[in-house]
Amino acid sequence: MKIIIKTKNLEQSESLNNFIEKKFETIQKFIDDSKMLAEVFVEIEKETKHHKKGEIFLVKAQVIISGKNIISEVSGEDLFVTVGQAKDELKNEIEKYSQKKIDINRKEARKLKER
């Protein structure tokens, strides 16, 4: 699995890249197409306008599985916590998509069995 990291209004450091790669590597086991090379796009943005106190970070994570675009978008004050939340949300969306795909196959199998 390839993880592509992009930052905006934020300096991209080696420690940040390692942290993000370590977090998002766990997504691989939820992607059922092991033959297909999955790419995860992670965009981290530091919002600078409209905030009087503190820094607000926006983390967008996107993966394309079998032509389906799955996206998670989380904002928060702590960068590392926000990255973790984005990973968890993306994992949940992938699980929902996989379960839906399995349910469709089961439904079709039931229809064939009833005939």
Q: What is the CATH number of the domain that holds 41?
A: 3.30.160.100
Q: What is the mean pLDDT of residues 77-82?
A: 93
In this prediction the pTM is 0.81
Higher pLDDT, 105 or 61: 61
Residue whose C-alpha is closest to residue 98's, from 43, 37, 42, 34: 34
Rounded to 10°, the helix 79-114/14-24 angle is 20
Range of the domain at 10: 2-114
- 24-75 pLDDT per residue, tens: 988 888 776 555 567 889 999 988 766 567 788 999 999 988 778 999 999 9
Confidence of residue 105 (pLDDT cuts 50, 70, 90): confident
Domain count for the chain, please give it: 1
The confidence score (pLDDT) of residue 35 equals 52
The confidence score (pLDDT) of residue 22 equals 93
The DSSP-derived string for 57-74 is EEEEEEEEETTEEEEEEE
